Amino acid sequence: MAFDIEMIKAVYARFPERIAAARKAVGRPLTLTEKILYSHLSEGEVSQAFERGKSYVDFQPDRVAMQDATAQMALLQFMQAGRDRVAVPSTVHCDHLIQAEVGAVKDLDKAKDKNREVYDFLASVSNKYGIGFWKPGAGIIHQVVLENYAFPGGMMIGTDSHTPNAGGLGMIAIGVGGADACDVMAGLPWELKFPKLIGVKLTGKMSGWTSAKDVILKVAGILTVKGGTGAVVEYFGEGARSLSATGKGTICNMGAEIGATTSIFGYDEKSAAYLEGTGRADIATLANGIAEHLTGDSEVYTEPENYFDQVIEINLSELEPHVNGPFTPDLAWPISKFAAAVKENGWPAKLDVGLIGSCTNSSYEDISRAASLAQQAVDKKLTAKSEYTITPGSEQVRYTVDRDGFLDTFGKMGGVVLANACGPCIGQWARHGADKQEKNSIITSFNRNFAKRADGNPNTHAFVASPEIVTALAIAGDLTFNPLTDTLLNEDGQSVKLDEPKGLELPTKGFAVEDAGYLAPAEDGSVVDVIVDPKSDRLQLLESFPAWEGADLKGLKLLIKAKGKCTTDHISMAGPWLRYRGHLDNISNNMLIGAVNSFNDKTNSVKNQLTGEYGEVPATQRHYKQMGIGTVVVGDENYGEGSSREHAAMEPRFLGVRAILVKSFARIHETNLKKQGMLALTFDDPFDYDKVLEDDSIDIIGLDSFAPGKSLQVVLHHADGSSDTIKVNHTYNEGQIGWFKAGSALNLIKAGI
């Protein structure tokens, strides 16, 4: 479990020289983001200035973190790389496969039994290859990383889209697919397009009901779900320095909902306090020694418009609590306007469930502030009108808040404590009655609220807010209740008002835990066997994808033309499908079943051009594959937004889809497609999307001269004998074109190229 202090010393030792070289190359002062990025380049590249949003650059991350759902495929790929041990410190965290149903103890016991073969595989492969293993129940990956591994100025990649949580401690932490993690664990550099920079200046100081969650809810409303695409969001100003480290983590965590590559805060007194409070005072001492390098240059923050591509300013003293949703995390409502929005839009005002916790809001500060409201409910004789659940972020947090009496307080209010795991936030929620698909409302302190995400019910109106607002509304049982202004009737018929929540950033008695849930790997992994049952329906060893044939792709069929929002949830659903994350063949049966077919407005219903009949997407694609016919998937804007799940790229590749053609891609998904040897293409003219017809056969022309910056042609052969030739673009560089030609990036690793 111990962090690698020698590694951190080495990172800090190179900071001064590399930052000086980078400042000279750029010819101006540097943002914090630029400092950390340049410090993680090879020495030969530090002297170069890179064009934001255009230059692909190889970075050298310090760490890799993987959650259990994505780690299965990442490690199955790593096993093919031919290494005896991972090249950088790496960890696996078992947090995604635990389904919430009745409560922490029973749910965890059930998960351990149900997922035993997956946990055994992950434990054994971790043990063999030098990877730290966090057992089921140890906590959610991002909270555990923040408590144990994140450090100012470091760089980490993680196989989860909310990896940026570590930005709360000044770390460049980026969500990636399993193939990227595999590359870094195999000792290869990690490639990223040098990001654009968005600066968020925070002034003033929060008070009362407002929390750090409200900052990102406000930012999401400003930038929307794709406004941060291709950019790092850097927060600065007096307001930033006033926030707790875990509050900053909340903001960075949910930055994934605006499409940002990552988000980050500079190192300050709050960072040092958190490091010391979590047993890492020696890191704080090291960071204090180079503190000037762990924040942006002063000139940058004095005149930010000269150094950032976009600047947003938010006065925390004036910021209202927000509620975002439903169905999208960027529909932002100040609490003063939310009740009217509920009424005007006809959303169910009755609140069925309030859920707090998750990787976004499960710190000691979050729990203590929510508990202060629960205690008020008990003291003021208020009974919670809604169901109420609490998801601690780690065993360390759970143990500490239990010791300090907060869990008992929640129990008196009627709250149910769930396991230290993702649970309802990712659809791992056995919500009773959800199958009836009744119209209802829930509110959470989670990060995402796409339709069907939490409970599978498309009619569940999910809203996102801070733990404090969630708790207050759960007590009221009414979305139109404004805790800042409104009163409630208690058991005695008296009108009572909730006081402002109170809490502590860190426990006064310090953190405590009996068993954090960590298993260190074997010193000699050569004697360890990886456990995979060849008859398993949950785990399947991988076979290499075939290389490109060396010619243009002709006679492809249109599989589906997806309409509107098509997230990785639509492409590869979570929930019950998580059990197949280690079995590519089985999980491919969920491919694109959530995408809406633009020709009939139905999900999981596409026309099979060979039979003329409509059928499920995976079955139709398997028929094409059986007949040796490749296909194309066409999509809309920001295709593949949401979770980093690599399966959304691997499943189409495995079943024989050759290209994804869309108006625009979400960053992680586009990279995942490239890694798997897929063609990720965009319409040069977005209106060409309308030219794609249901019975089209498709040719992709120009692959014999496939080159960076050079467009390709797509010929749409229509059923009536006519055709349209359209221009399509791509963002492949030479290395990525090599992945395509080889069949996948992993094929090149295995070949030693």
Contact 258, 224 (CB under 8 A): yes
3-state secondary structure of 429: strand
231-236 β-sheet, strand order:
262-265, 231-236, 196-203, 310-315
Relative to beta strand 460-464, strand 440-444 is parallel
Kindly tell me the burial class for residue 29, based on how many C-beta atoms sit within 10 Å of its own C-beta (0-12, 13-18, 19 or more). middle
Contact 403, 512 (CB under 8 A): yes
> Among 397, 18, 359, which Cα is nearest to 213's?
359
519 CB neighbour count, 10 Å cutoff: 16
Cα–Cα distance, 646 to 176 (Å, whole number): 8
Q: Which of 160, 180, 478, 636 is catalytic?
A: 160
Kindly tell me the burial class for residue 718, based on how many C-beta atoms sit within 10 Å of its own C-beta (0-12, 13-18, 19 or more). middle
Active site residue 160: yes
Q: Which of 322, 398, 431, 448 is catalytic?
A: 448
Active site residue 645: yes
Active site residue 448: yes
Alpha helices in 79-205 (DSSP H): 104-114, 116-129, 141-148, 178-185
Q: Which of 95, 214, 352, 688 is catalytic?
A: 95
3-state secondary structure of 701: strand
> Among 355, 60, 367, 97, which Cα is nearest to 190's?
60
> Among 666, 656, 686, 685, which Cα is nearest to 731's?
666
289 CB neighbour count, 10 Å cutoff: 12
Cα–Cα distance, 396 to 344 (Å, whole number): 43
The token pair at 726 is 């359209």
172-175 β-sheet, strand order:
172-175, 155-158, 63-67, 90-93, 132-134, 518-519
Residue 279 is given by DSSP the state T
Active site residue 183: no
Cis peptide upstream of residue 329 (ω within 30 degrees of 0):
no
387-391 β-sheet, strand order:
332-334, 322-324, 460-464, 440-444, 351-357, 387-391, 416-417
Cα–Cα distance, 574 to 253 (Å, whole number): 20
Contacts of 379 (CB under 8 A, 6+ apart): none
Q: Which of 93, 96, 241, 667 is catalytic?
A: 96
Active site residue 96: yes
Q: Which of 643, 644, 697, 744 is catalytic?
A: 643
Cα–Cα distance, 639 to 195 (Å, whole number): 19
Cα–Cα distance, 580 to 463 (Å, whole number): 29
Cα–Cα distance, 646 to 181 (Å, whole number): 11
Cα–Cα distance, 434 to 52 (Å, whole number): 45
578 CB neighbour count, 10 Å cutoff: 26
Q: Which of 18, 93, 645, 717 is catalytic?
A: 645
Q: Which residues are part of the catalytic machinery?
A: 95-96, 160, 448, 643, 645
